[in-house]
Amino acid sequence: MKVGIVGATGYGWLELIRFLHNHKAVKRIDLFTSSEEGVIFSFKFGHLVHIADTPLQKIDYGALEKLDVVFTSRPSE
């Protein structure tokens, strides 16, 4: 299963990313952001370097359509 998370830099997603990483059905996790494109996820959250050492991607609806599951988040403001 290919999974995407939109708004991946929010702290609420950290546990979900850890859970998905350990789920045997999940083959890929794409992380999307509207504000930190290109930043390596593990640079921001160093304790997850073994889980998500991947660049954050700009939100791309075409890429999202190719995923099996997409989780979305809104800013807390």
Structural domain boundaries of the chain?
A: 2-71
Instruction: Check: CB of residue 33 under 8 Å from CB of residue 58.
Output: yes
What is the value of pTM for the model shown? 0.80
Q: What pLDDT, on a 0 to 100 scale, did the predictor assign at position 52?
A: 67
Q: What pLDDT, on a 0 to 100 scale, did the predictor assign at position 37?
A: 72
Assigned CATH topology for domain 2-71: Rossmann fold (3.40.50)
Determine the Cα–Cα distance for residues 52 and 56; give it in Å rounded to an integer: 10
Residue range 54-58: mean pLDDT, rounded: 87
Instruction: Check: CB of residue 3 under 8 Å from CB of residue 30.
Output: yes
Classified as helix, coil or strand, 72 is strand
Residue range 35-42: mean pLDDT, rounded: 75
Residue range 37-44: mean pLDDT, rounded: 72
Residue range 30-45: mean pLDDT, rounded: 78
36 by Cβ neighbours in 10 Å (0-12 / 13-18 / 19+) ranks as middle
Determine the Cα–Cα distance for residues 21 and 47; give it in Å rounded to an integer: 14
User: What is the residue whose two structure tokens read 């546990």?
Assistant: 15
